[in-house]
Amino acid sequence: MFRILFHTPEIPGNTGNAIRLAAITGAELHLVEPLGFELEDSKLRRAGLDYHDLAVLHVHPTLEAAWKALAPERVYAFTSDGDTSYTDIAYQPGDVLMFGRESVGLPEEVKQDPHVTARVRLPMLPSLRSLNLANSASIAVYEAWRQHGFAGAQL
C-alpha cells in the first residue's frame, strides 16, 4: 500500500515502532544506511514486539539505492519547514512517505532531491522543534490509509 522511508534513523526504538506500524497497516518500511543501531538491537526488537516477521522491511546502503529499488512516482518528504500540510495531499498506493534523522531531520540536499514531489509538514505549536519520528510516521501513514477507507483493515 504505502511505503515509509527512514533516512539514516538513529534511535532503535523508533524504528522498532515503525516495524510494528508497517506490519499493522500493510505498509513497507525502507531504511537508508547508515543506521544508528544494529538491526539486532534489543531496543529495536522490544519496540517491534513480535511483528518483525510480519513486516516488510528493506535496508538500502544509500538513498540512490533506495530510489532504484522503490522506483517511486511520488515522494513526500516530511519536514518541519515543509510548505504543504499532510492533510492537503491526496495519497495514492505506492507513495513514499520519507522522514529524516531524529536529531536533525532530512538534510537539505535530500529535501531538494528531484524525486521529492513535495515537502510536507505536520502542524505543531511554533515554539517546538519536532515531533517524535515514529509518531510522525504513524500520523502520516494513518492519514494516507484513512483516505483509502483503511483498505484491508478489520473495522
* HEC letters along 3-64: EEEEECCCCHHHHHHHHHHHHHHCCEEEEECCCCCCCCCHHHHHHHCCCHHHCEEEEECCHH
Report whether 60 contacts 32 (CB < 8 A).
Answer: yes
Q: Is 136 annotated as a binding residue?
A: no
Asked if residue 63 belongs to a known ligand binding site, the reply is: no
Distance CA 45, CA 105 (A): 23
- Is 100 marked as binding a ligand? yes
**28, HSE (Cβ side, Cα atoms, 13 Å):** 17
Distance from C-alpha of 100 to C-alpha of 109, rounded to nearest angstrom = 12
Provide the annotated binding site for S-adenosyl-L-methionine.
100, 122, 130
Provide the annotated binding site.
100, 122, 130
